[in-house]
Structure 1
């Protein structure tokens, strides 16, 4: 009997524990925990996006003297403002804006038509036409084209091969934007400049003498500008530079005085006074201050004053004036 009661008691205890730890109650507890966690997360998110209270701005207090200086600076700045210039700029902007509205890019086909007509007009003049004739022919074409477009109505404007809108655009381009149109089609005719020589120099006025750098040359040097004498080389000029023409002549005098028996004695000196070098038909590059010492029993000129036109045609690098200066030493 006692054993049965114990069994019943133990059975009853297990039943009671099973009621408190049922699956339903565990599921409810887990759901409540999830809901609480979700609410906490939601609260944290909403609190992070909550507007922060702006900081209170500090109000700066200015003294009357500071306020007076600010007002004075504003007044001076307004008085110094270039009112007329600002108004003129505004007017120019309005004008440019109107011109920009009036100007409309011509279609490529219309530009090609204009180019073809102008080229044909210039071709009719021939190859020997002057620049003035070409400019006159192009201007005549422009004026005639404007007259035709203005006189033609919208219905018969197709006789030019243009629609009404194209005719209107071409009229604006020819009348107001002619230079821009010429740039677009690549038309450029240079201005013809006429040069008039004025020979108002008195007949008896002497020619201006060229200034020779360095000390004056002694009379026995017989210096001649724009002159190149021929002769046998006593001293090679490429390796014999001198500061001035006077030094080059003195070198010739010294060589003739100190020459040994049987040596050539210098009686011709040739000097390059040009800072840009001196032309010569040989293969060498002749630089500034070259000094050539030569000898010739009967000195002959290579070049004097100017190179001839035929010589410059065969030597394209030759200048007009002979750049050398030289002289024959007098005994």
Structure 2
């Protein structure tokens, strides 16, 4: 727009002299645009521009009967959905917490220290070999004695803790009604004893459940034995020889014995690791899932069977209870 006006006041490629210069015309156009923008902004932000027309009945907006029913229904639904019982329970808890907090502020720190020292002295008399039940009995006995001492106190209202009358009153209330909170404040916590009882409901003559081995079924000639590890000279090291299943490991042993060259050891023992977490062995190697060892022995000898003995596990703390390997002797 500024360029158009500038051209309008230009003659022959030269600006007219006097007031109508390019600079003055440009300033005038900018001021005009600014005034127009301010007027538009005022018209948009004025409250009266969007205010609805006031009704003739004193400013009250009339609602239809259907709208009133909807509002009343909405109010009724909100009231019915309000968790009244939960709100009441929370209010009761707030009152209980407020009373407990007030009691905690009233009970002097010196009194808590006296109680703590007296209970610790009783527990020390029990010795370091006392069970949790004995410790709990000592603490409860101390509590019962103090309550009895307070109730049968003389007119001076003194106890064996050398307390004032106000302290005695607060202690009595704590021992009777706020005992758990008092133990928490003085840092006394005795865990509950948990008795674990194993119930064997299995009938005596019921057979053991058969353990499921992943993969295809093994051939009878594999002579598979669960939780078994046979010894023998290594024909193929399992550290670098993995098979998808025990059946594949057995088949590898059969194939090696069939294709062995003259003078080579022929596999007649296969040992497989079926556990996803690996298999324990007393050597220095980490034996992983799907390891397949091919071995040979003229007289196969067991390394381990079923479970490791207690004496063995005492000497080898990392050994599990059950032997994780499975093995088989070909042609046995």
Structure 2 length-normalised TM: 0.75
C-alpha distance in 2, partners of 1:220/1:314? 36
Deviates more, 1:171-180 or 1:254-263: 171-180
Are residues 80 and 134 of structure 1, via their aligned partners in 2, closer, same or farther at CA, if it must alter by over 3 Å? Answer: same
Q: Does 1:231 align with 2:243?
A: no
Q: Are 1:270 and 1:291, in contact at CA under 8 Å, matched by a contact in 2? A: yes
1:154: how far off? 6.6
Tell me the alpha carbon deviations over residues 52-76 of structure 1, each in whole angstroms, 9 at most, x when there is no partner. Answer: xxx8887673532434422331233
In the alignment, the residues of structure 2 paired with residue 328 and residue 107 of structure 1 have an alpha-carbon distance, to the nearest angstrom, of 79
Q: Which whole-Å deviations, capped at 9, do the CAs of 1:277-309 have from their partners, x for residues lacking one?
A: 111111111111111111111111111111111
Residue 271 of structure 1 corresponds to which residue in structure 2?
272
Q: Distance in 2 between matches of 1:216 and 1:173?
A: 70
What's the secondary structure of 1:295's corresponding residue? Answer: strand
| Whole-Å separation in 1 of the counterparts to 2:189 and 2:95 | 30
2:327 matched residue in structure 1: 326
- Say which is worse superposed, 172-181 or 249-258, in terms of deviation: 172-181
Structure 1: state its 5+ residue gaps: 1-54
Runs of 4+ off more than 6 Å: 55-58
Alpha-carbon displacement from aligned partner over 1:140-195 (angstroms, at most 9, x marks no partner)? 11121222223325724164232233333333332222222323333222222223
Tell me by how many angstroms 1:202 deviates: 2.3
Matching of residues 77-156 of structure 1 within 5 Å: 77-104=78-105, 106-153=107-154, 155-156=156-157
Does the Cα contact within 8 Å between 1:102 and 1:172 map onto a contact in 2? no
Q: Say if 1:79 and 1:193 are closer, same or farther in 2 by CA, change over 3 A.
A: closer
Question: What does residue 217 of structure 1 align with?
Answer: 218
The within-5 A match list for 1:44-83 is 61-64=61-64, 65-83=66-84
1:212-264 superposed Cα distances (whole Å, 9 cap, x missing partner): 11111111111111111111111111111111111111111111111111111
Between the two proteins, the alignment pairs up a number of residues equal to: 277
**How far apart, CA to CA, are the structure 2 residues paired with 1:277 and 1:284?**
11
Alignment partner, residue 44 of structure 2: none
Counterparts in 2 of 1:72 and 1:102: CA distance versus 1, 3 Å: same
Distance 2:175 2:138 in 1: 15
Cα separation, partners in 2 of 1:253 and 1:105, compared to 1, 3 Å:
farther
Q: TM-score, normalised by structure 1?
A: 0.75
Cα separation, 2, equivalents of 1:328 and 1:152? 86
Structure of higher CA gyration radius: 1
2:242 & 2:155 partners in 1: Cα distance?
Answer: 83
Q: Which moved more, 1:68-77 or 1:299-308?
A: 68-77
> Take 1:308 and 1:96, find their aligned partners in 2: how far apart are those partners?
57
User: Could you tell which deviates more after superposition, 251-260 or 74-83?
Assistant: 74-83
- 2:215/2:244 contact within 8 Å kept: yes
Gap regions ≥5 residues in structure 2: 1-46, 53-58
Write the distance in 1 (CA, Å) between the matches of 2:330 and 2:152. 85
